[in-house]
Amino acid sequence: MVKKTSWRYSQVPKEYQSCGGIDLGNGVLIWKNKWQPVAYFDSVRFTSYCDEGNPVYSSLKRNRLSFPYSKALQRDWHTFITSGNDRGPFKYSIYAIIMSFTTNFVITLFLTVIVFITIRQKPHRGASNLLKLGSTLASVNLAIFISKALKVLHQDHIYKGVVSTERVLDLLWMDLTFTCLDLLVVLICQLCQVQIIMRLFSRVKEKRTVFLVGVTLSIISQVLWAIPTLAQSINDNFSGLSYDADGLTLLSPFVYLFRIALAASYACIICFNMFNKRHLCFLYQRMMILTLLALIIVLLQPGFFVADVANIWVDDLSEIFNTTCYVGSAVIVWEWVDHILILERKVQAQSVLGRPVYEDDQEDYHFAKYALKVQDAISRDSETGEIGSRNDTANSGTEEQRVRWQYGDDTPPRDTNKVEFNEPQPLKNVILEKCSRIWDGMIYYTDHFIVKGLVIKTLSIHSKSSSDDHRKRKAKVRRRIGLDRPNEVYVYATRDVVFDSDEDEAESNQGSSVDEERDFP
Amino acid sequence: MPSKSRSVIFVLLTLALIFQIFPTISIPVVDRIYLSTYNGRKFGVFGWCTAKSSECTSPRIGYEILPLNGTTEVASLFLPSRAKRSISKLLIVHPISLFFTFVLWTLALALNMHNFGQSRKILAGAVLWSLLTVLLSLLSFLVDILLFVPYLAWPGWLVLVSTVFIAVASSMMCIIRRAVSLRKYEKLRNRDNVELVPLRFSNVNSNSSKPTASEGVSDTQESAAWQHVAPDQPELVHRAV
C-alpha cells in the first residue's frame, strides 16, 4: 500500500490466526476433483485469503446452502472490525470511501453548474473565466478518478472476489493524471481566492499588495506541494529512478501545514469581512443562507486539519476533500462577495455621498485619465461629422495630447534639437532601470485586474434575459454614474460650511418682514 | 507623542514576543518549560528530557532517540501523534517565527517615533512583514499541534494567542497606513479649495482659452494642465483656505 502520509508511522498490523494458517487435524473428508471426490488427509492446514494481512469476509448474498465460516475465521473478523485499528471499523470500509468519493464528485459538479449559471462575466472577466476553468477541471478530474476506481474494484471483484479499500487509496496517491490535474485545480482555485480578497479591499495599493503577496504564496505552496507528491508518484510508476525518501519526508508535512496556514488566513479574512459587513450579510433570508454557507465552506479546510489530527481516515482521503473544499471556497465565496458588493453599491447609490473615492485613486490620475478617454471617444465621433473645422480640432487635439502627457497616459515627444550620445550607462543605473521596468510591468499587470474594478460598469445585472432589458439597465446605470453627461466632469474638494448665526438669521427675518410690510401695506 | 493605536500595537507585539519566547526556551534550555509531556518524556523545541531524572539530550534541531536512563525507545511510540521523529525538525519554525516577531516589534517601536511613524514606506513594509510573521507564527502552532496533540502544554497554546495578537496588530497597522496616507494626501491637496470644475473639451479652442491664474496653487504642473483645457468662460474657482 502506498500512503501519502509517509511522515507518519503506520499502525503495526495484528497477526490473525486465519491469515497465518489453522491446523484442522486429520480425518477430514473433502472434495478434491471429479475423479476422486472424497479423500482422507492426515494433517490439514487451512489458510484463509487475507488482504494485506487483514481477514476478509464475504459481503455477498448468502443462503442456506452456502458453506459456513470456520469459527476461527469468524473470531478474527470480529476482532478486526471491533479493535481500533486503521482499517477495521466500518468508516474505513469501501462503502464509506466510495460514498465520500461520489459525494465530493456530486458537490463539485453542482458547484461547476453554479459557476456557469450564476457567476457574472463582468466586470471581472478574467477571474470568472479562471473560476469556470478550475471548477470544470475539478469535475473532470473527479469523474476520471471515479471511473478508474470503479474499474479497479470491478477487476478485483472478478478475479479475487474482494473489494479492497487499499487498491482505491493506492490509485488516489499513485495516479499521475489525478495528481497533475489536482495540482492545476488547486492553483487556479488559490488564484481565485486571491481575486476574492482583492475585491474585498477598496484601495488600489492594497489590491496590488494582495495580488503580489497572494500570487507569490500560491505559487510557492503549489511548487512545494508538487515536489514530494510528483516525486512519489513518479517513483511508484517508474521503478529504477532514484528517490530521496528521507529528504521529502520533511517537505511533505511542511507543505501540508503551509497550505493549512494559507487556508486559515483566507478563512480569517473572510470571517473578518463577514463581521464587518454583518448588517448586509443578514439583510434578508437568502443572503443569510449564503453567508452561513460561505462561513462553513471557508472553515472546512482548517476543520479538516483538526479532524485529520484526530483521525487518520480523513488524512488518507484528504486530496479528494481538498479539491472540493478549494472549489467550494472559491465559488461560493465569490458569489457571496458578488452579492455583498452589489448590496454595498446599492446602499452607496441611495446615500447622499455616493461611492467613496480614495486618495490612491486620485494619485495616479485615474479619474482624469478616465475623463480624457471618454472625451477622446466623443470628440473622435464629432470630428468625423465636422469637415470644415479641421484646424480647430487639430489645435484642440494638441491641447488634449499635452494634457495626456501631463497625466502620464502617453509618452511625451522627444526634443528634436537635443543631441544624444551613446555613452555606456553605469551598471547601477542599468540595474535600477531594469528593476523599475519589472516593477512597472507587475503594476501594469495588477492594474489590468484593478482598473476594471474602478470603473464599475454594472451594478445589479444578474440575468441577461433579453437584450432590451440589458440595454435599459445599461442606460440606467450610465445615467446613474453620469456617463450620459460626459462633458460635465466635476472635481470636488472639501470645504468648510459656514452656517449663518442666529443673529444674522434674526436680522434677515426682520429685513424680510420689513420687505413684506412694504409689499403689503 | 505616540497615538493610542500605535501604543496598543506596541503592547500587543510585546506580549506576542514574550509568548513566543516561552516555547523557544523550552526544554532542554529551561527545565520547567516544555511543549508536551508524553510517555515519561518532556519535549521542547531543541530536544527532550526524561520526566523522572530530568536527563536531557544535547540541544539540536530535531529529536534524537537516545536510551536515556537505561530506557529503550520505540520509534513509533516516541511522539504522541505517531509522527516520525524526523518531523521534529519542523520545530525550527519556532526560532524563525521569534526572529520575525522581534523585527516586527522593533518596527512597531520605530512607528512610535515621530520620524518613522509618518513614513508610508516604513508602514507599508511593517504591514508586509507582519503578514509573514502571522503566517510563520501560525505555522509554528500547527507544527506543535501536529506533533504533540492531544498532549500539548501551555507554551504551545501561547503561540496561538501570539498569532492572534500579531494578526490584530497587523490589521491596526493597515488602518494606520491608510490614515497616514490620507493625511499626507490632504496636506498636499488641501492648500487649494477647488469648488467646481466643469470640463468641456468639445468647446476647447486654444486661441480663445483664457488661463485662470490662481493664488496658492501647489501643483503647478497640474494647474497648468487644467488651465489648457478650461472653457471660454472660466468656471474654475480657487479659494485660498
B81 or A434: which leads in pLDDT: A434
User: Which of A127-131, A326-330, B102-106 bottoms out in mean pLDDT, i.e. has the lowest?
Assistant: A127-131
Task: Dump pLDDT digits (tens) for B14-45.
Answer: 999 999 999 999 888 888 888 888 888 888 88
- CB A127, CB A331: distance < 8 Å: no
What's the rounded Cα separation, in Å, for the pair A313 and B201? 69
- For cell 484642440, what's the residue? A396
Give mean pLDDT, residues A39-58: 78
Confidence class of residue A136 from pLDDT cuts 50, 70 and 90?
Answer: very high
| Rg of chain B, C-alpha, whole Å | 30
Q: Which of A241, A147, A138 is nearest to A181 (CA)?
A: A138
Counting beta carbons within 10 angstroms of the beta carbon of residue A14, is it exposed (0 to 12), middle (13 to 18) or buried (19 or more)?
middle
Q: CB distance from A398 to chain B under 8 Å?
A: yes
What's the rounded Cα separation, in Å, for the pair A229 and A236? 11
Of A217, A250, A257, the CB nearest to B146: A257
Question: Any idea where the domains of chain A sit in the sequence?
Answer: 17-57+68-82, 90-350
DSSP string, A109-153: HHHHHHHHHHS--SS-HHHHHHHHHHHHHHHHHHHHHHHHHHHHH
What's the rounded Cα separation, in Å, for the pair A240 and A470? 62
What's the rounded Cα separation, in Å, for the pair A305 and A307? 5
- CB B98, CB B24: distance < 8 Å: yes
pLDDT for position A305:
80
- CB B159, CB B19: distance < 8 Å: yes
Q: Is B172's pLDDT higher than 80?
A: yes
What residues of chain B, 28 to 67, have a C-beta less than 8 Å from chain A? none
Please indicate, yes or no, if residue B239 is contained in any of the structural domains.
Answer: yes
What's the rounded Cα separation, in Å, for the pair A111 and A26? 63
Confidence class of residue A242 from pLDDT cuts 50, 70 and 90?
Answer: low
What residues of chain B, 67 to 126, have a C-beta less than 8 Å from chain A? 75-76, 81-84, 86-87, 89-90, 124
What's the rounded Cα separation, in Å, for the pair A350 and A221? 43
DSSP string, A364-430: TTHHHHHHHHHHHHHHHHHHHH-STTHHHHHHHHHHHHHHHHHTTSSPPPPPTT-----PPPPHHHH
Q: Which domain holds residue B123?
A: 3-188
B54 with B173, same domain: the answer is: yes
A109 or A73: which leads in pLDDT: A109
Q: Is B12's pLDDT higher than 90?
A: yes
| 3-state percent helix, strand, coil for chain A, nearest multiple of 5 | 65, 5, 30
Q: Give backbone dihedrals phi and psi of B17, rounded to 5 degrees, phi first.
A: -65, -45
Element (H, E) at B11: helix B4-24
Contacts of B178 in chain A (CB under 8 A): 203
B234 with B146, same domain: the answer is: no
**In sequence order, which residues have a C-beta less than 8 Å from that of residue A141 and are 6 or more positions away?**
A177, A178, A181, A182, A185, A323
B71 with B151, same domain: the answer is: yes
Of B135, B192, B205, the CB nearest to A396: B205
B146 with B227, same domain: the answer is: no
Please indicate, yes or no, if residue B168 is contained in any of the structural domains.
Answer: yes
What residues of chain A, 3 to 22, have a C-beta less than 8 Å from chain B? 7-9, 11-12
- CB A207, CB A201: distance < 8 Å: yes
B226 with B178, same domain: the answer is: no
B229 with B125, same domain: the answer is: no
Confidence class of residue A357 from pLDDT cuts 50, 70 and 90?
Answer: confident
B103 with B150, same domain: the answer is: yes
Q: One-letter amino acid identity for A70? A: S
Cell reading at A110: 453542482
pLDDT for position A112:
92
pLDDT for position A177:
87
B47 with B88, same domain: the answer is: yes
Contacts of A216 in chain B (CB under 8 A): none
Q: Give backbone dihedrals phi and psi of A261, rounded to 5 degrees, phi first.
A: -65, -40
Q: Which of A163-177, A293-307, A502-516 has the highest mean pLDDT?
A: A293-307
- CB A450, CB A208: distance < 8 Å: yes
B45 with B104, same domain: the answer is: yes
- CB B16, CB B172: distance < 8 Å: no
Q: Is B99's pLDDT higher than 90?
A: yes
Q: What angle do CA B120, B123, B124 make, to 5 degrees?
A: 85
CATH of A90-350, one of 1.10.3470, 3.40.190, 3.30.1380, 1.20.1070: 1.20.1070
What residues of chain A, 204 to 223, have a C-beta less than 8 Å from chain B? 205-206, 209, 213, 217
- For cell 479532524, what's the residue? A307
Give mean pLDDT, residues B119-143: 89
Of B89, B139, B194, the CB nearest to A491: B194
Please indicate, yes or no, if residue B195 is contained in any of the structural domains.
Answer: no
Average per-residue pLDDT in chain B?
76
Task: Dump pLDDT digits (tens) for A195-241.
Answer: 999 888 888 888 888 888 999 999 999 998 888 888 777 776 666 65
B118 with B223, same domain: the answer is: no
Nearest CA in chain B to A357: B182
CATH (domain of B32): 1.20.140
B225 with B162, same domain: the answer is: no
pTM recorded for the entire structure: 0.70
Counting beta carbons within 10 angstroms of the beta carbon of residue A111, is it exposed (0 to 12), middle (13 to 18) or buried (19 or more)?
buried
Helix/strand/coil for A39: strand
Q: Which of B225, B213, B218, B176 is nearest to A365 (CA)?
A: B225
- The reply to whether ipTM tops 0.85 is no
Contacts of A272 in chain B (CB under 8 A): 171
Q: One-letter amino acid identity for A4? A: K
Q: CB distance from A490 to chain B under 8 Å?
A: yes
Task: Dump pLDDT digits (tens) for A476-516.
Answer: 777 766 666 655 555 555 556 666 555 555 555 555 554 44
Please indicate, yes or no, if residue B201 is contained in any of the structural domains.
Answer: no
* CB–CB contact B193 A495 (8 Å): yes
Please indicate, yes or no, if residue B148 is contained in any of the structural domains.
Answer: yes
Q: CB distance from B202 to chain A under 8 Å?
A: yes
Q: What angle do CA A235, A237, A238 make, to 5 degrees?
A: 65
Q: Which of B175, B42, B148, B51 is nearest to B91 (CA)?
A: B148
Please indicate, yes or no, if residue B207 is contained in any of the structural domains.
Answer: no
Name the domain count of chain B. Answer: 2
User: Using the 8-state DSSP alphabet, how is residue A498 labeled?
Assistant: -
A357 or A450: which leads in pLDDT: A357
HSE on the CB side for B193, CA within 13 Å?
7
B115 with B172, same domain: the answer is: yes
Contacts of B80 in chain A (CB under 8 A): none
Q: Is B4's pLDDT higher than 80?
A: yes
Q: CB distance from A367 to chain B under 8 Å?
A: no
Please indicate, yes or no, if residue B211 is contained in any of the structural domains.
Answer: no
Q: CB distance from B174 to chain A under 8 Å?
A: yes
Please indicate, yes or no, if residue B209 is contained in any of the structural domains.
Answer: no
**Which neighbouring-strand residues pair with A195?**
none
